[in-house]
């Protein structure tokens, strides 16, 4: 679990984060959402120690990261895995060398054992026969999966993902989301994801923190977000007519008014009448 | 004020390099990699420049020594001393500031912009000691060796131009090389080589490591690294000559 207590951060005169308190729960995919410039990347960078907070505390399972000695921080960081927006793979290394790098640096395992572990994690992210390829030779989605493999190779307790779906097509985005969600559950990791992808919010948002101009505007789950009354959040999350319609449909599903096993053929055949679950609605 | 904060940031980066390595074997591997990149990567250009530098030096010295009172051996002496004292350490290091400096700044700048440095930091690796220190040490190992090679090739280039151009015979040139030789000059050239190697590698690393922005800024950082290194090399050249000679 990661606790944020009154975290504030400014760059010069500009206040980026204002007094943010939140809890990132273990074994759940915790999402930080918000428009560009809302402070979500800065918040995540503060959480992993790339930026120092001006005030407040960031607590990893009872250990206060903000006032920790550098040596202790280094130790804690070895329990943190991070997937970057651009994957941040080392260009001069192959996929295998990229994933093996943290093992080379922090373990005294035999090369055979390291290779086995690398192959295990690459298989887990559904990457096979790519060991000898360079990052420039693989697709964006594959790079993200290599990034995930590198992030989890040391079996971290905390996983941070900065916009894991940026630049990916919707289908690949869903594969990446599902993968992160499954890895979180399998390893009971505290996962923190920065995103503005609405599919991610609805599919894997077990705990959502919405930032608006550096302020925590809303916190809840993907179920609660459908029924939320926060105007700023609704403007952000259901920005298009299509998404507003999707929200209405999801609300009807959640209330049990329509069947959530929608079938478009049925809709076309019966004019949508048989989608109404209750007889009262049908009449 | 900006100058002072830049110097402060440079000194902090240098201070940050001195920490215990997370894994000595990995650091050693990176040092060897950098030594090969800097040394072998610059070997060709250093060899070509040095031979021509010596050759031109011999031809131009012969052109200026018109008095029949001066022995031909003087040409070899002048080529030897100019190559050892100035051409090999200073000129070669200015070229290396362009070749090696822009490469270091570009590599680190790209790593910064593509978040590779952040990725290493999050793993718990001190990037200043893992990325910057091997580059500086690699330069300190290889650049003086390149300068020694440049001295040899420069002097040989002078001999080649002198004999091929019918200016003087090989024997006369060799005799001239041994006349009034001052070993201190070689020592002085090596002091310059180490100083310039440190300037090139540390300044370029500083500019690359602190890049903010994108591709445009990487280019700017490389240019700034080369310009600053060249100016500091010339300044250090003057200071060292003033105090040591």
- Which among B23, B115, B122 has CB closest to A105? B23
Q: Flag whether B16 is in a domain.
A: no
Residues B127-143 have a mean pLDDT of 95
- Could you tell me if residue A60 is inside a domain? yes
A126 and A62, same structural domain?
Answer: yes
Does residue A234 fall inside a structural domain?
A: no
Domain end position, chosen among A182, A202, A226 = A226
Q: Which of B26, B114, B126 sits opposite A104 (nearest CB)?
A: B26
The total domain count for chain A is: 2
For residue B144, the distance in angstroms to the closest alpha carbon of chain A comes to: 27
Q: Is residue B66 part of a domain?
A: yes
The C-alpha torsion from A100 through A160 and A63 to A70, rounded to 10°, is: 60
Q: What pLDDT, on the 0 to 100 scale, is given for residue A232? A: 84
Give the distance from residue B13's alpha carbon to the nearest chain A alpha carbon, in angstroms.
Answer: 16
Range of the domain at A277: 240-283
Give the residue from B125, B124, B101, B113 showing the smallest Cα distance to B41. Answer: B101
Is A232 domain-assigned? no
- Chain A to chain B Cβ contacts (< 8 Å): 52
SS3 for B179? Answer: coil
Give the pLDDT confidence score for residue A283 in this predicted structure.
42
Mutate: best of B33, B123, B129, B134, partner A, most A CBs <10 A:
B123
DSSP letter (8 states) at residue B19: S
Whether A218 is covered by a domain: the verdict is yes
Domain stops at, among A226, A256, A274: A226
Domain extent for B66: 27-244
Contact by Cβ (8 Å): B235, B93: no
A131 within a domain of the structure (yes/no): yes
Residue A235 lies in a domain: no
- Same-domain status, A98 and A187: yes
Please report whether residue A143 resides in a domain: yes
Per residue in B54-77, pLDDT (tens digit) is 999 999 999 998 788 888 899 999
Q: How many angstroms from the chain centroid is the CA of residue B52?
A: 18
Q: Which of A103, A88, A91 is nearest to A147 (CA)?
A: A88
Both A173 and A276 in one domain: the answer is no
**Chain A residues closer than 8 Å to B115 by CB:** 84-86, 88
CATH number assigned to the domain comprising residue A53 = 3.40.50.300
Could you tell me if A216 and A244 lie in one domain? no
Lowest mean pLDDT among A77-81, A252-256, B115-119, B233-237: A252-256
Task: Inspect the interface and report whether the beta carbons of A48 and B26 lie closer than 8 Å.
Answer: no
Alpha-carbon span A92 to A96, nearest angstrom: 12
Considering the domain architecture, whether residues A180 and A268 belong to the same structural domain is answered as: no
The number of domains in chain B is 1
Q: For residue A32, what are the β-bridge partners?
A: A194, A209
B122 has pLDDT over 80: yes
List own/partner pairs for A234-239 with CB under 8 A and 24 or more apart: A236/A33, A236/A34, A236/A35, A236/A210, A236/A212, A237/A33, A237/A198, A237/A201, A237/A210
* Beta carbons of A145 and A95 less than 8 angstroms apart: no
For residues A176 and A220, membership in a common domain is answered with: yes
Tens of each residue's pLDDT in chain A, 283 residues: 999 999 999 998 899 999 999 999 999 999 999 988 889 999 999 999 889 999 999 999 999 999 888 888 888 988 999 999 888 999 999 999 999 999 999 999 999 999 999 999 999 888 888 999 999 999 988 999 999 999 999 999 999 999 888 888 888 888 889 889 999 999 999 999 998 888 888 888 899 999 999 999 999 998 888 888 888 888 887 777 777 777 777 777 777 766 656 555 655 565 555 555 554 544 4
**What DSSP assignment string belongs to chain A?**
-EEEEEEEEEETTEEEEEEEEEEE-TTSEEEEE--TTSSHHHHHHHHHTSS--SEEEEEETTEESTT--HHHHHHHHTTEEEE-TT----TTS-HHHHHHHHHHHH----HHHHHHHHHHHHHHTT--S-TT--GGGS-HHHHHHHHHHHHHTT--SEEEEESTTTT--HHHHHHHHHHHHHHHHHHT-EEEEEE--HHHHHHH-SEEEEEETTEEEEEE-HHHHHH---HHHHHHHT-SHHHHHHHHHHHHHHTTSB-SS--HHHHHHHTTGGGB-SHHHH-
Question: Do A268 and A219 belong to one domain?
Answer: no
Q: What is the pLDDT of residue A282?
A: 44
Same domain, A191 and A262: no
- What's the rounded Cα separation, in Å, for the pair A14 and A21? 20
- The first and second tokens of residue B98, run together, are 């362009």
Q: Do A178 and A282 lie in a common domain? A: no
Q: Which residue of B has its CA nearest to A159?
A: B122
Residue B223 is predicted with a pLDDT of 95
Give strand pairing partners of A2: A24, A60
Structural domain contains residue B11: no
Is there a contact between A105 and B122 if contact means CB atoms under 8 Å apart?
no
The whole-model pTM stands at 0.85
Whether residue A183 sits in one domain with residue A148: yes
Q: What percent of chain B has pLDDT over 70?
A: 100
- Do A223 and A217 form a contact (C-beta atoms < 8 A)? no
- Res. B197: pLDDT tops 90: yes
* B109 domain-assigned: yes
Q: Is residue B138 part of a domain?
A: yes
User: Is residue A167 domain-shared with residue A274, that is, in the same domain?
Assistant: no
Interface test with A, best of B5, B15, B115 (most A CBs within 10 A): B115
Verify whether the Cβ–Cβ distance B26 to A105 is below 8 Å. yes
Residue A201 shares a structural domain with residue A274: no
**CA A180/CA A144 separation, integer angstroms:** 11
Vertex B149: Cα angle to B72 and B63 (nearest 5) = 25
Residue B22 falls inside a structural domain? no
Query: Which chain A residue's Cα is nearest to B16?
Result: A70
Better-predicted residue by pLDDT, B182 or B1: B182
């Amino acid at each position: 679990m990661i606790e944020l207590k009154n975290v504030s951060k400014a760059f010069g005169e500009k206040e980026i984060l204002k007094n943010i308190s939140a809890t990132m729960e273990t074994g759940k995919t915790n999402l930080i959402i918000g428009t560009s410039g809302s402070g979500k990347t800065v918040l995540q960078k503060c959480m992993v120690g790339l930026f120092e907070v001006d005030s407040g505390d960031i607590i990893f399972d009872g250990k206060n990261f903000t006032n920790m000695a550098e040596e202790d921080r280094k130790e804690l960081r070895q329990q943190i895995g991070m997937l970057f927006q651009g994957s941040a793979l080392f260009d001069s290394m192959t996929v295998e060398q990229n994933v093996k790098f943290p093992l080379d640096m922090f373990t005294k395992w035999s090369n055979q054992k390291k290779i086995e572990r690398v192959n295990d994690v690459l298989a887990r992210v559904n990457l096979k026969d790519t060991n000898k390829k360079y990052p420039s030779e693989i697709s964006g989605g594959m790079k993200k999966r290599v990034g995930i493999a590198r992030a989890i190779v040391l079996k971290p307790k905390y996983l941070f993902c900065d916009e894991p779906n940026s630049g990916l097509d919707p289908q690949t985005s869903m594969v990446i989301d599902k993968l992160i969600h499954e890895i979180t559950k399998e390893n009971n990791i505290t996962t923190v994801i920065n995103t503005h992808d609405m599919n991610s919010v609805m599919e894997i948002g077990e705990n959502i923190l919405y930032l608006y101009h550096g302020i925590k505007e809303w916190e809840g789950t993907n179920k609660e977000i459908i029924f939320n009354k926060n105007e700023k959040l609704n403007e952000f999350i259901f920005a298009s007519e299509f998404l507003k319609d999707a929200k209405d449909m999801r609300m009807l599903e959640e209330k049990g008014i329509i069947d959530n096993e929608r079938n478009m053929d049925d809709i076309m055949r019966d004019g949508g009448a048989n989608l109404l679950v209750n007889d009262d609605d049908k009449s | 004020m900006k100058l002072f904060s830049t110097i402060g940031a440079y000194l902090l980066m240098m201070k940050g390099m001195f920490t215990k390595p997370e894994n000595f074997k990995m650091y050693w591997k990176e040092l060897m990699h950098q030594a090969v990149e800097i040394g072998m990567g610059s070997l060709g250009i250093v060899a070509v420049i040095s031979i021509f530098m010596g050759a031109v030096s011999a031809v131009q010295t012969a052109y200026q020594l018109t008095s029949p009172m001066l022995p031909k051996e003087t040409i070899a002496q002048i080529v030897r001393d100019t190559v050892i004292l100035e051409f090999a350490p200073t000129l070669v290091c200015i070229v290396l500031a362009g070749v090696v400096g822009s490469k270091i700044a570009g590599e680190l700048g790209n790593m910064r912009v593509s978040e590779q440095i952040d990725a290493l930091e999050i793993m718990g690796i001190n990037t200043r000691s893992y990325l910057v220190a091997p580059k500086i040490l690699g330069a300190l190992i290889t650049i003086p060796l390149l300068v020694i090679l440049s001295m040899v090739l420069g002097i040989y280039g002078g001999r080649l131009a002198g004999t091929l151009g019918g200016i003087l015979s090989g024997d006369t040139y060799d005799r001239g090389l041994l006349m009034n030789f001052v070993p201190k000059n070689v020592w002085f050239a090596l002091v310059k080589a180490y100083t310039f190697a440190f300037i090139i590698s540390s300044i370029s690393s500083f500019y690359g490591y602190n890049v903010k922005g994108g591709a445009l800024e990487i280019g700017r950082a490389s240019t700034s690294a080369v310009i600053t290194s060249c100016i500091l090399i010339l300044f250090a050249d003057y200071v060292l000559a003033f105090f040591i000679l």
